[in-house]
Amino acid sequence: MKKITVYEKPTCTTCRNVSKALMEQGIDFEKVNYYIDHFSKRKLKSLLKKMKMKPVEVIRIKEKIYKELDIKNKNYSDEELVDLMVKHPDLVQRPIIEMGDKAILARPPERIRELFK
């Protein structure tokens, strides 16, 4: 089986549920707290490509920083959004699970199954 990496915030309930589900299934994986080991721009763009998602699709709109930066009312390019997401990890939806050339945004946690199809 390919290496599985879960990009998470440990205090996030959804992230904990995903980790628990993987452990219960006996799946070996690595956890990366992206608040400590920040995404590089290159890594975040790679994950977005693997998920087949645009930056705007993985932005957390209920975060304080989202409102402070007035993202909703500004016309940021994809590049600018990625830059903001790298600078402000709170903007990134979580958890993101990467396995080889695939990645998913595991919201809800049941989406884990998509990796193994």
Determine phi and psi for 24, rounding to 5 degrees: -60, -30
Q: What is the pLDDT of residues 11-33, one digit of tens each?
A: 999 999 999 999 998 999 999 99
Report the predicted TM-score, pTM, of the whole model to 2 decimal places: 0.93
Round to whole Å and give the CA distance between 104 and 48. Answer: 9
Establish how many alpha carbons lie within 13 A of residue 18's alpha carbon, considering only the half-sphere containing its beta carbon: 31
Domains of the chain: residue spans and CATH: 4-116 (3.40.30.10)
3-state SS, residue 87 = helix
Active site residues: 12
Q: What is the pLDDT of residues 43-52, one digit of tens each?
A: 999 999 999 9
Q: What is the pLDDT of residues 55-84, one digit of tens each?
A: 999 999 999 999 999 999 999 999 999 999
Round to whole Å and give the CA distance between 82 and 44. Answer: 7
Reading phi first (left if > 0) and then psi (alpha if -120 to 50, else beta), residue 49 is in alpha
| Residue 107, pLDDT above cutoff 70 | yes
